[in-house]
Amino acid sequence: MAVEDILESLAETSQFLDECGMKVWASLLRDQESEIAEANRDGKPRRIKRRVKKLKQYFGGMGSLNDLVISKDNRNLHPQLSEEEADRRLGNLLDQLFMWCLFWNYDRETALRTYQQLLQRYPHELPPRVRHAFGR
């Protein structure tokens, strides 16, 4: 299963958000990482499923992860990357995290292949994490 990948993605995304001064979101993701890791250690797939479902909710609605922007206007800047580089990196991290939320119970190769097929099938669509926010 790709649970290890979702844990790695959560750690990487929360660290990046922390570096950009988005402490609340970083903390929320770290909490989810801890909960999913504990459920995984205990061998409780239903608990993992509930935690992943909760994590997916962070991508929907106003004030969600999808609304985060790296900008000098909101003072959320990365110490080493330009605004554009940091914002692009954030988008990539969030896309990756959402992918693992969709396919957490697949093996790694199947998850990656399935996600790529999805992107290729709908090349002019919004990213799946954004589409999810609109309920389609």
Residue 20 has phi, psi (to 5 degrees) of -90, 5
Domain hosting 120: range is 3-133
So what's the pLDDT on residue 125? 82
For residue 79, what pLDDT is reported?
84
pLDDT at residue 42, rounded to an integer: 95
Does this model's pTM top 0.85? My answer is yes
Domain count, the chain: 1
Contacts (Cβ under 8 Å, ≥6 apart) of 18: 26
Return d(Cα 118, Cα 136) in angstroms, integer.
14
At 135 the pLDDT is 64
Token representation of residue 10: 């959560």
Instruction: Write out the chain's pLDDT in tens, 136 residues.
Output: 689 999 999 999 999 999 999 999 999 999 999 999 999 999 999 999 999 999 999 998 788 998 888 877 777 778 888 888 998 999 999 999 999 999 988 998 999 999 899 888 888 887 888 877 766 5
Rounded-to-integer distance, Cα 114 and Cα 111, Å: 5
